[in-house]
Structure 1
């Protein structure tokens, strides 16, 4: 792995410059995505057109598209000379990333019950994003991120870690609720209840947005911040779309329930 990277970059300074550029580019793309999503929903799941010529089974799509987000970072940590991985702050922030993607890529796909097929173009874009982001996050954290010795006791790191943990738990609990909406043999959609679904339509999205906001706060870099912004843009749009869809689908949908932020939005 070191040999491959040495061929791509003439020096560590050059690679760090590229990593920073990738972070800023992700923020620009998030801004463009925000504008685009004002006019059209992402074509996935219930919003994917049934006329799409090439579609991928939901379980296969989730597994394959999320796997690079685990494999690329795993290779970077295991098969490169990553001196920073011996430092506690770096280890903890890297662990946050891996805790999410071990669950999301190696466990979550095999828990899916049913699920709408994914259009091929969305599937390919997801793979590209996971490779891009996985490299950017973990290469920076494992090789370049330089935190002060007391960082793990800094209020910013503590607040970020708490936010990450709360978001991670909310995300997994909400996914569990969604998976168990239907009894064996049942089809069709149901109104989710329990947990934060009592307050918002996109409880799973709120959990993941909170999770990566905490990761950005604890990681304190343009790279983690870019990922948090990108996640917030895409998932907040999905939450609003779900909220509108639920209201159109169910006449008895709770009127007090918000789209993403309890009691506010």
Structure 2
């Protein structure tokens, strides 16, 4: 009799590395999310880089221009996704779908950095290194964990095509709300404004909501315990980040609408 878990996911791989990365990724992301939610900005970028600079000690931190720093965040992971096509060229459709969606995900990130986002500050080098390494390791380990399922019996319930749909909903919704954010300020303007349009009337971080949907799509495509652990960690982190973002807007704008939630409309 197949256990309920194995109906949905592949069995854990006989890999100490993948199992260790799964645990470390989940725990570290959850801790970062909790820290963000209680007001401690560990990853200093966007508006929180400015806040951290104002409240920091006398220790001088190296800052990169935002566009360059953000490019370094995503480029290594994009390259890792591209390389996976060369390393695993003749594997099952599930591996091909995961490789394709990861490549498209980080291509979109790089495209947005170069042509969509507008910037008003810098990004701390420590955060660039930490985030870039996390994205790179997550991408590489996701593909390797999928490779380790080669030859195993497929889960009884096939979620990979539902995962593709969720990924497309996530990437389109995320891009749309990033575009709205990019249009808030005219060229040369640096002050922040309360975003409007799309789901911004309901939550302050709809781009995070769609990011989560996209990562759930990765989990459905992969159906590995490793993908599930990374997605769960991302959810914890983005929940904390969205709470911090909402708190920042409330402190910055006296007219911020209190009915606008952090991440999920009408819920939280």
Task: Give the TM interval when normalised to the shorter protein.
Answer: 0.7 to 0.9
| Number of positions where the alignment pairs a residue of Structure 1 with one of Structure 2 | 246
2:148 corresponds in structure 1 to 144
Q: Deviations over 1:76-130 (max 9, x none)?
A: 331x3x26x432122112211111011113x121122223211111111112212
Q: Deviations over 1:9-57 (max 9, x none)?
A: xxxx87x332232122212323333443344123322122336431011
Deviation (angstroms), 1:219? 1.1
Structure in which a larger fraction of residues adopt helix: 1
Normalised to the residue count of structure 1, the TM-score between the two structures is 0.83
1:110 corresponds in structure 2 to 114
Kept after mapping to 1: 8 A contact 2:33/2:239: no
1:72 corresponds in structure 2 to 80
Deviation (angstroms), 1:159? 3.1
1:18 corresponds in structure 2 to 17
2:35 corresponds in structure 1 to 36
In 1, Cα distance between equivalents of 2:161 and 2:152: 14
Kept after mapping to 2: 8 A contact 1:90/1:145: no
Kept after mapping to 2: 8 A contact 1:24/1:222: no
Q: Pick the aligned partner of 1:57 from 61, 65, 75.
A: 65
1:121 aligns with 2:126: yes
Kept after mapping to 2: 8 A contact 1:23/1:136: no
Report the CA distance shift for 1:208/1:133 in structure 2 as closer, same or farther (over 3 A): same
Report the CA distance shift for 1:150/1:54 in structure 2 as closer, same or farther (over 3 A): closer
Kept after mapping to 1: 8 A contact 2:145/2:224: no
1:164 aligns with 2:167: yes
Alpha-carbon RMSD across the aligned residues, in angstroms, is 2.4
1:176 aligns with 2:179: yes
Deviation (angstroms), 1:73? 2.9
Report the CA distance shift for 1:148/1:162 in structure 2 as closer, same or farther (over 3 A): farther
Kept after mapping to 2: 8 A contact 1:27/1:230: yes
Report the CA distance shift for 1:147/1:176 in structure 2 as closer, same or farther (over 3 A): farther
In 2, Cα distance between equivalents of 1:258 and 1:60: 31
In 1, Cα distance between equivalents of 2:267 and 2:218: 24
SS of 1:86 mapped into structure 2: coil
Q: Deviations over 1:131-162 (max 9, x none)?
A: 21121012223x223488987x9553333222
Deviation (angstroms), 1:236? 1.4
Q: How does 1:70-109 map to 2 (within 5 A)?
A: 70-78=78-86, 80=87, 82=88, 85-105=90-110, 107-109=111-113
In 1, Cα distance between equivalents of 2:229 and 2:127: 20
